[in-house]
Amino acid sequence: MSPFKLVYGKVDHLLVELYQAYWATKKLNFYAQLAGEQRLLGLNEMEEYREQAYENVKLCKEKTKKWYDQMFFPWHFHVVQQVLLYNSRLRLFPGKLKSRWSGPFEVHHVYPHGVVDIKNIDDATILKVNGQQLKAYNRAPPLCDKSVLHLQDT
């Protein structure tokens, strides 16, 4: 600590130091108007980048929504339609080569808000399930002639 600071409680600046600081500020900020214009241009450029970022986020969200909507299947079931029921227990305890879909079941009644009554075709028991656990059952058409399935050696 300098003796000046001990006595007066502040740092003393010599005249040479003040002149050097004045010279440096004058030299560095000689073109104050040009520096101000560059600062405004930089701020405008930053605003443009921000707008572009908002547009990119908006486009990304639209693409994600479009992709998700393609993967989404609507659950419109009607009475007497055949459906498959998702077995969520097989998700927790998977069995080798076991299908997670059981059925087919027949739609007995469709309630609003996605609840569906399904009827087992074998023993006619009725279950009330969430429509999200169902998917339409599209069975393959039966073959008329089974001899077509045999492979011929060439």
Give alpha helix (H) positions in the chain. Answer: 3-8, 15-28, 32-71, 89-92
Predicted pLDDT of residue 106: 92
Domain presence at residue 154: no
Q: Name residues of the chain where pLDDT drops below 50.
A: 146-151, 154
Please tell me whether residues 55 and 113 are part of one structural domain.
Answer: no
Domain presence at residue 74: no
Domain presence at residue 55: yes
Please tell me whether residues 38 and 8 are part of one structural domain.
Answer: yes
Predicted pLDDT of residue 151: 47
pLDDT, tens digit, 9 for 90 and up, residues 130-142: 888 888 888 755 5
Domain that holds residue 115: 82-136
Please tell me whether residues 7 and 64 are part of one structural domain.
Answer: yes
Domain presence at residue 113: yes
> What is the domain count for the chain?
2
Please tell me whether residues 89 and 62 are part of one structural domain.
Answer: no
Predicted pLDDT of residue 88: 76
Please tell me whether residues 8 and 65 are part of one structural domain.
Answer: yes
User: What order of strands is seen across the sheet that includes strand 126-130?
Assistant: 126-130, 115-120, 101-110, 82-86, 134-136
The set of residues, in sequence order, having a beta carbon less than 8 Å from that of 101 and lying 6+ positions away, is 84, 85, 86, 87, 135
CATH number of the domain where residue 99 is located: 2.30.30
Predicted pLDDT of residue 101: 85
Name the CA radius of gyration of the chain, rounded.
39
Q: Is 37 helix (H, G, I), strand (E, B) or coil?
A: helix
